[in-house]
Amino acid sequence: HGPGVTPRLSVPPRYRRERALALRSSSSALYNNLAVLCPPARPPRAFGAVHGTTLSLLGPEGPPRQLPARGGCSALSTPLLTQAAWCELPARVLLVLTSQRGVQMYEADGSTLVFWHALDILEHPAAHSVFARGISAAGERFICVGTSSGAVLVFDIPPKGTNVTLSEVLEQHRDPITDIAAEQGQAPEGAGDLVTADDSGTLCLWSTGEEFTLLGKIPGSGCTCSSVALWNGIVAAGYGNGQIRLWEAGTGQLRAQVSAHARWIYALDLAPLTGKLLSGAEDSFVHVWKLSRDPDTDDVEIQHCHTECVTDTQVCGARFCDPAGDTFAVTGYDLSEILCYGPA
């Protein structure tokens, strides 16, 4: 290839389908509908996928389990879950579930309920749907959860025990929160270590601590940002129009735009050791990309590495299963399996 010509490379497959893990029930069409716990020291891992009112759990030992949403009673129907994620803090790992009623936090194996926070339903007019959605560990001792009003709840997590407290409520978003992500690498000066995203595509950058500080806001253009990741000061965001955009966290500048998918993106995940980015969408495709930064120009680079097509399936969850991104797992709507992929 000559200089100045950007070659359309035919890349040999980097991954192949390894196995499928059977779930007790199929996965629901929800953003980021796959939770993976990957302790660095040992496989096998734990997986979780939401089906309606329950979370299907596949742990390292024992049969698959189901965790129900809380907040149902004889007068009210069991609430629907919206998301589940493991939050890894230095002192402990908690499994967090969000639903139409509130936030449930369990010990990592799902055995014990540690904390329950009920959303204030009365505050919302009847026409608006009420739910919690968007989960992330933040700043070494917090867990952040988004809500349909746009508020982000910041919970202070003690190293052990059940004394979780609501430390702060961040009110910068006007639309329902879709996803929250913490910095997985090294944040450059002033770039912040947490990003929150909402239905309108607005992104907020925060610095975490006793008090969270808003560092910057990237206004949305009406196109939903359904999934977001933060790595070395780069925000990777997936949108309803199938685009992936990379933003400079410190300045809010757009650095890359990818026409990645033909339908709504449902999941993004990032492998912090290598900068690999995984995207899954309703168009049945899963793509693996590679993020990097040119050390001379400071330009952000994104290259396409690999494609998988999950035939006749709308992908709703996609996560790397190791920090280098050599393996990943995928869920789809109506699919009663977790599909696992490994090195080719």
Partner 1 sequence: MSARTLPLLFLNLGGEMLYILDQRLRAQSIPGEKARKDEWTDVDRKRVMNDIIGTMFNRKFMEELFKPQELYSKKALRTVYERLAHASIMRLNQASMDKLYDLMTMAFKYQVLLCPRPRDILLVTFNHLDAIKDFIYESPGILNQVDETFRQLIETYNCLSDGEFQLIRQTLLVFFQDMHIRVSIFLKDKVQNSNGRFVLPISGPVPWGTEVPGLIRIFNHKGVEVKRTEFTTAGNYVTPQREGSFELYGDRVLKLGTNMYSVSRPVETHMAGSSKNLASHAKENTVPNPLAKEELNFLARLLGGLDIQKPAGGETGFRLNLFTSDEEEEHAAQTRPEDLSYKVINIEATQEPGRRAELSRILGELEVAEPRPGSAGKGEDLLALMDGL
Does position 25 interact with partner 1 (CB under 8 A)? The reply is yes
Choice from 112, 307, 324, 343 touching partner 1 (CB under 8 A):
307
Does position 41 interact with partner 1 (CB under 8 A)? The reply is no
Does position 179 interact with partner 1 (CB under 8 A)? The reply is no
Does position 301 interact with partner 1 (CB under 8 A)? The reply is yes
- For 285-288, which contacts have Cβ atoms below 8 Å and span 24 or more sequence positions? 285/261, 285/309, 285/310, 285/315, 286/310, 286/315, 286/318, 286/328, 286/330, 287/260, 287/261, 288/14, 288/15, 288/325, 288/328
Angle (CA) 167 99 337, round 5°: 125
Does position 114 interact with partner 1 (CB under 8 A)? The reply is no
Site string for partner 1, 65-104 (x = CB under 8 A): -x-------xxxxx-x-x-----------------x----
In the sheet that 15-22 helps form, which strands lie side by side, from edge to edge?
15-22, 337-343, 328-332, 315-320
Does position 284 interact with partner 1 (CB under 8 A)? The reply is yes
Structure tokens at 226: 């359904």
| Binding segment toward partner 1, per CB under 8 A, in 139-147, 171-179, 183-191, 209-217 | 171-179
Does position 257 interact with partner 1 (CB under 8 A)? The reply is yes
Does position 309 interact with partner 1 (CB under 8 A)? The reply is yes
Does position 28 interact with partner 1 (CB under 8 A)? The reply is yes
CB of 156 to partner 1, least distance (A): 28
Alpha-carbon distance 322 to 343, whole Å? 12
Does position 304 interact with partner 1 (CB under 8 A)? The reply is yes
Choice from 256, 293, 323, 342 touching partner 1 (CB under 8 A):
256
Q: Which residues of 39-55 are buried (b: 16+ CB within 10 A; e: fewer)?
A: eeeeeebbbbbbbbbbb
